[in-house]
Structures are given as C-alpha cells and as structure tokens.
Structure 1
C-alpha cells in the first residue's frame, strides 16, 4: 500500500506486517544525473522489493533531504544536520508505529546517511515501541558494490533502467572527463578530504559510461531480492529485547 495514495480508511484496513521508508538525498550527481538521484533509486528499489515480497507492505513517503553537506559547493544540493536527520527519521517511524506498523525497513540511497541511519535505528529499537533496520541498496548488489562511486556506473545504470529520462546522455562524456577515480584523498589510511569538491571537478566519482540499462536491470533485481528477503526476516523475527544478565 502506497501510503500517499491511500485514504485513512484504506490505512485502517491494512494488514501489513512491515513498513518501508525510502530515504535519499537532494544533492549533485554530476552534470548528467539529477539532484534527486538518491531519492529516485531508493524509491525504485523499495517498490521493486515490495513487489517481490510475499506479504503486505506499507510504503511511506520518501525523505528527500539527508546528510549531504559534503556536496555543498555544488548548487542545488540541500542538507540537514545529523541531529535533525536522525530526529526526523525517528519521529516518522514513531508515527508509523503509532498506527501499528512497528517493524520498519529504512531503504536508503545515499552513502552520507548510512552511519546516522544505523545509529537512529538502534535508538528506535532500544528505546521506542518499534523495530527498525536500515537497508542501503548499493550494499546489497554483490560484486557490483565495488564500483559504487558517485554519479558513476551504478547510479547511472540504475537510472538508465528505471528512469532513463533523468539521464542527460549528451553530458556523459563531460561527466567522465571531470570525474575522479576514487572517493576522497587518502594518506596513511585517512581521508584528508571532507568535501567532494576537493577531489572531483564536477562531482562525479567513477565512469558513468560503464553503467548501461542492462546493468541497471541486474542491479534492481539483486537489490529487490535482497530487500524482499530482509522484509520477510523483519516481519517474522523475534524483536523482544534481551533480558539483562
């Protein structure tokens, strides 16, 4: 059930075992991909995983602004603080739990959200009347994950498959020319850079030309299958907190 499309009476009649909150970011993805890339990809994976899952799911509206100050030099990028982000996610989950949907998967499309989502999911599970886990789609695509980058082959491939109108094919060469090979500037195991503009001229990391629509279809299948398996586990898992020793 798409919560945004449902009436309150539809919601009241739902027998869903689990809810999904897609979470992305509004940030630069190079000259060829839109600022909403992380939202579009998170939504696509959430919808595909819901279709694969053998049960009813409540699909909540997406959270479109995340932790993205590292892209602040590129116009159009939006961001909030980690505290604001965690509070917003926690309160959104709390409202879902209030209506009885107290097992929640946070489907994430932005690397900058990963640590905060793990932390807030733990806080929700330990202290609220809900159980929450984060799922980041590009961590669930097997060997493809090593090519993640930013606005690079994986995100471009998935966009080409699920939303090709959002890829400016005439700018792929420009995106490739200004891209960096790796994320960050490393010395002695330490990333010296805090902002992406320190190591990539146009915001791209990796070669978007290596991400065609066929690869995007494979990525979506892998992520959707992994999400469906996770939904099954979350829906049936014993989530009672362990007793103190």
Structure 2
C-alpha cells in the first residue's frame, strides 16, 4: 500500500490491520559516466513496485529517503553527501514517527553502501525501544546469488547497471564503458580516497550489463526479500507467544 497517495481516512483504516512499514533509502551520487545519479533511489523504487504486487496487503510502502552518506564518492560531481550522524538521526526520527503511528516492524530497504554504518546504529537504538527491524542491503545480502547472474558486480557495475537498464534503458548505457577494479583495500582511508578506489566513479564490469540480466536479478531477489520479511514476521510471532506465557 502506497503511503504517498493515501488520505487520512485510508491511513487510519490501514492502521487497524498493518504494523509493518518498508522505508526505501537511497542516495544521489556519481555512478560512473554511464548510470543515473539516482541509481540508488531508482533500484529501491523498483523493488517497492514489485514487492507491492506480492505483499502490498501486509506492508505499508513509505516514501523514500533520497539522500544519504557518501564520503567515498564525495570527490565526484553529482554526489550530495549528508554527514553520517545527520543522516542517521534523520532516519531514526522517521522510524520513531512510524512507531508512534503503530508500526512496530520496520524494514529499511537500503540502496547505498555508504549508509550502512549509520543504519546499523539506528537499528540498535530502535531495538532498544521495542521496534523490530530488518535492514536489507541487497548488494551485500544476496551477493553470491547476484554473482550467478552478473559475475562482476560493483558500484555501478554489472549488477547495478543491469538493474537500471531493466527499469528504463534511458537511465544507463554500456557502450564503451568497460570495467574497473578497486585498486586498493577499502580499509585504507585518506583525503579524496574515493577517487582512487573508484576510477571514474564505478567498479565492476559495467560493459557486460544488460536489461535481461537486470530483470533476472529483480525476479530472483524479490523472492529472497520476501523470505527475509517472513522471517521478521516469524520473530514477531515468537515474541508475542513469549509475552503470552
């Protein structure tokens, strides 16, 4: 159910039967010369569209958080970086607002790796006040499955570029892009280091991306996401049974 388009009466009726909300979280940043700056928003949006078809009767689909933390890609034009503390506190307050509206299960569907550290802290704070959370970082959580379809994933690499192409081929291209490897372990930090880690603001084999691969990735991962969501609901049921004893 799409929160953005419902009115007050719709929302109040929904509160009677649904306590799970999915909050898409993305980033506006450089994704190589070939992918849309909004890639990390476009992909979660597409997941939401598909998940709505599968489980929209049990999940409120919230409007996305479009800006996040991207220290690594900050040297590149088009990256709108929000400090990690500011970003984390913003998401925390949004989640508290949903909790106050009766949503005790919160799914953070995160499309951007730079957000992960902040979201880890957010979910710890939410758990301490009684909120159950599930954070989905699709590019990490399902990486081995992804590599069966797109063997050379990365930031705007074969996987992400394919998934953008599957949304709309106007938002990405592959001709002449090629591939980049990350030349240095990410554990090293130095000023403007992202420009070294991500030559031309991407990694992986973007040149091998296709819309067909993207479609296969969505179809495969939607099933895995739904399995994780069902596990969240199982945790809720176990908790409720424990409270009844």
Q: Shorter-chain TM-score: which interval?
A: 0.7 to 0.9
Q: Distance in 2 between matches of 1:84 and 1:148?
A: 29
Contact 1:67 1:80 in 2 (8 A): yes
Q: Deviations over 1:16-72 (max 9, x none)?
A: 241100001110001111110001111212332332237421011111111102111
SS at match of 1:135: strand
RMSD (Å) for aligned C-alpha atoms: 2.4
1:8 lines up with 2:11 in the alignment: no
Q: Tell me the SS of whatever aligns to 1:172.
A: coil
Show the counterpart of 1:47. Answer: 49
* Equivalent residue, structure 1, for 2:58: 56
What CA deviation, in whole Å up to 9, does each residue of 1:118-141 have, x standing for no partner?
221121111x24222210122225
In structure 2, C-alpha distance between the alignment counterparts of 1:172 and 1:17, rounded to whole Å:
45
* Among candidates 188, 191, 198, match of residue 191 of structure 1: 188
Q: Distance in 1 between matches of 2:152 and 2:121?
A: 26
Q: Any gaps of 5 or more consecutive residues in structure 2? A: none
Give structure 1 stretches of 5+ with no counterpart: none
CA positional deviation for 1:117: 1.4
Say whether residues 1:133 and 2:131 are aligned partners.
Answer: no
Q: Could you say which structure has the greater relative contact order, defined with CA pairs below 8 angstroms and 6 or more residues apart? A: 1
> Displacement, 1:111?
1.0
Q: CA deviation at 1:101?
A: 1.4
d(CA) in 2 for partners of 1:92, 1:180: 37
